Structure 1
């Protein structure tokens, strides 16, 4: 998250802006899109390459994934900037769709069948400055290693998703993703694990505070926007954005909190504070020496996730 100038700091105290402006200033960095949705004239994994029809965020594609068979509407085209590391066979496990948010934005969604026999699907809310194209390779690797399917989406203004990012849109975006996973793909709440990383913990905590699910993972979470900008903040102001600290106590599902002790973006104290406020928190994972963007490189990351999913999350009834 970018630092604020002296004048901007003074503005927050002397004339505090609305939460959406704090959110926009502190958090949102949509990257140049690394993928496009192309109309799928020939549904199925053997469909032809890019069509000449108009696309959403058109880019020069280097890899193609088929759309959901039930609609056969879109194909995913990844660009070279997506740095995809998998073959066409892996790409064929990806389905893409558009969801409509309550705020009127079309939201790009991606469903990856990493483990068809898995009982759980992870609804993943990714971090900042990335989109689904950049995350797709990580999703396939993660889902395969923890034996879960992965469903993810892009926030308003990211990737193919319409609109501009704001705090209210974050909440509407994950609602649209949740209902798409529930209705289009038929995944029940007790089979959904909500996973939020960095800014993605904001919509994850909000949704988990309103809906019961199998479990929640908060990866490098923040307590609130003001507490990131001003580390000495001790209370939640009415104009504060992203107030995870006020919502986490309402979560009724088991919660695993993961944080690096040397996080340079969201201080380790945020993870500690949320752990203390969350009655459903299980044994956390504090990764000694890890920063904000390298926790996944430590062996205890996958070990803890596997133990959480395999032993601490209640399995849905068959």
Structure 2
């Protein structure tokens, strides 16, 4: 029965799966916005943060964060930030964040990440997150990253070979989708999931027609160098997801399996930044 137990089959048959409902149940928990944009009259915005954003740098360093809005093909206005971390950066990271956070909460991490590995960082909020309009959905996820990609290419003139797509948790879903359609400088998949059904029903062995987030079907089409990162004790997305994605990725590089790490603490392990520095500053350059 393709790995599903009788009770799981009963659950599916008694409550026929709707992809949008599965997606909403598994993935989307937008927090109350932790930031705002302050217009400067030129179409650019400075970032203002609430205490819940937990900004860890000075007000002066906040000037390195430029905000703006762009619109998706589905009509939603989404908030974006460009974080200038280095004047000598070759690469810009297009970062798709995890669940239950917004750009305000991610801003400190973006600046710390970019400064640590000599990259600029472009972030965006999904539809229904932060200051972005609309509602979160699988289709909107794909439209959101497409709009972010277009803005990064046109507004800042960044070429694909100088863009690193970075997805974390649910953010790996739009990242894999975009990477399966465009060749870029590199891809980083941090705690990726194979598909929604495989998270909800871990014994699932195939991709059903009603499944959501089917990254496992798209990863063979990713032609860019790809770094997989996953905690071996991940309690949200089991480590087997990262390992299987790695096995099916055509250009996967040496992965980072963080022993003892869970879903939300991989960045606290020294091996995290060490591996990123090696990948970005050595492997991609050579």
Fold similarity call, TM over 0.5: yes
User: Following the alignment from structure 2 to structure 1, what is the Cα–Cα distance between the partners of residues 44 and 262?
Assistant: 40
Contact 2:47–2:62 at 8 Å: present in 1 too?
no
Q: What is aligned with 2:4?
A: none
Runs (4 or more) in structure 1 with deviation over 6 Å come to none
Structure with higher helix content: 2
Q: Does 1:224 align with 2:175?
A: no
CA apart distance, 1:230: 0.3
1:254 to 216, 225, 237: 225
CA apart distance, 1:15: 4.6
CA apart distance, 1:8: 9.6
Q: Does 1:272 align with 2:243?
A: yes
User: Following the alignment from structure 2 to structure 1, what is the Cα–Cα distance between the partners of residues 10 and 61?
Assistant: 51
Q: What is aligned with 1:122?
A: 93
User: Following the alignment from structure 2 to structure 1, what is the Cα–Cα distance between the partners of residues 44 and 11?
Assistant: 47
Q: What is aligned with 1:98?
A: 69
CA apart distance, 1:12: 3.0
Q: What is the DSSP-based 3-state SS (H/G/I as helix, E as strand, rest coil) of the residue aligned with 1:37?
A: strand
Q: How many residues align?
A: 281
Gaps of 5+ in 1: 1-6, 42-70
CA apart distance, 1:117: 1.0
CA apart distance, 1:310: 1.6
Q: Cα RMSD between the aligned structures?
A: 1.7
Contact 2:43–2:68 at 8 Å: present in 1 too?
no
User: Following the alignment from structure 2 to structure 1, what is the Cα–Cα distance between the partners of residues 185 and 84?
Assistant: 18
Q: What is aligned with 2:40?
A: 40
CA apart distance, 1:38: 2.9
Gaps of 5+ in 2: 1-6
CA apart distance, 1:215: 0.2
Q: What is aligned with 1:312?
A: 283
Equivalent residue runs for 1:184-263 within 5 Å: 184-263=155-234
Q: What is aligned with 1:12?
A: 12
CA distances 1:41-90 after superposition (whole Å, capped 9, x unpaired): 4xxxxxxxxxxxxxxxxxxxxxxxxxxxxx44433221111111111221
User: Following the alignment from structure 1 to structure 2, what is the Cα–Cα distance between the partners of residues 35 and 9?
Assistant: 43
TM-score with structure 1 length normalisation? Answer: 0.85
Q: What is the DSSP-based 3-state SS (H/G/I as helix, E as strand, rest coil) of the residue aligned with 1:98?
A: strand
User: Following the alignment from structure 1 to structure 2, what is the Cα–Cα distance between the partners of residues 229 and 125?
Assistant: 22
Contact 1:16–1:239 at 8 Å: present in 2 too?
no
CA distances 1:130-161 after superposition (whole Å, capped 9, x unpaired): 00000000111111001100000000000000
CA distances 1:166-195 after superposition (whole Å, capped 9, x unpaired): 000000000000000000011110000000
Contact 1:214–1:314 at 8 Å: present in 2 too?
no
Q: Does 1:21 align with 2:16?
A: no
Q: What is the DSSP-based 3-state SS (H/G/I as helix, E as strand, rest coil) of the residue aligned with 2:70?
A: strand
Q: What is the DSSP-based 3-state SS (H/G/I as helix, E as strand, rest coil) of the residue aligned with 1:118?
A: coil
CA distances 1:16-41 after superposition (whole Å, capped 9, x unpaired): 33322210111100000001123324
1:179 to 138, 142, 150: 150
Contact 1:260–1:291 at 8 Å: present in 2 too?
yes
User: Following the alignment from structure 1 to structure 2, what is the Cα–Cα distance between the partners of residues 182 and 248?
Assistant: 23
User: Following the alignment from structure 2 to structure 1, what is the Cα–Cα distance between the partners of residues 157 and 259?
Assistant: 39
CA apart distance, 1:116: 1.7
